[in-house]
């Protein structure tokens, strides 16, 4: 389970950084610091335990080990780890909310068609 969601993140927002704004791109991102705004990637997003996100997230796979407040869209898989906290709605093709995790919001499962994920990829690629 861990292997397919934790491809090496190429970008990092460290725990001593605060980022406010909109991030778009074709890679993966690890968040250890504070992020406000929106993040839309064709790769994966990992919110580490020190991460504090008040933003809408969209990525292929999303792993939440820290705190997230906002809308989360995982085109493939969403994991909320035991240390993770999600306040907000999410949409994902599959989801793993682990024991101890905190989730408040609405859940929406995406259709499992492979077309759905490729078409969702395009806006981030452009």
Residues that bind another protein (CB under 8 A): 10-27, 29, 33, 37, 41
| Cα–Cα distance measured from residue 8 to residue 33, given in angstroms and rounded to the nearest whole number | 18
Contact 24, 11 (CB under 8 A): no
Select 1 or 126, whichever has its Cβ closest to another protein.
126
**Smallest distance from the beta carbon of 42 to another protein, in angstroms?**
8
**Smallest distance from the beta carbon of 70 to another protein, in angstroms?**
15
Select 18 or 108, whichever has its Cβ closest to another protein.
18
Q: Is the dihedral of CA 97, 108, 20, 60 positive or negative?
A: positive
**Smallest distance from the beta carbon of 102 to another protein, in angstroms?**
26
| Cα–Cα distance measured from residue 8 to residue 18, given in angstroms and rounded to the nearest whole number | 22
């Amino acid at each position: 389970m861990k292997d397919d969601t934790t491809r090496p993140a190429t970008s990092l927002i460290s725990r001593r950084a605060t980022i406010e704004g909109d991030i778009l791109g074709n890679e993966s991102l690890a968040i250890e610091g504070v992020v406000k705004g929106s993040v839309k990637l064709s790769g994966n997003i990992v919110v580490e335990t020190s991460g504090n996100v008040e933003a809408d997230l969209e990525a292929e796979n999303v792993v939440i080990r820290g705190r997230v407040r906002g809308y989360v869209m995982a085109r493939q898989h969403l994991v909320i780890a035991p240390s993770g906290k999600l306040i907000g709605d999410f949409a994902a093709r599959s989801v793993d909310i682990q024991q101890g995790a905190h989730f408040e919001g609405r859940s929406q499962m995406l259709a499992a068609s492979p077309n759905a994920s490729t078409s969702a990829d395009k806006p981030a690629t452009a």
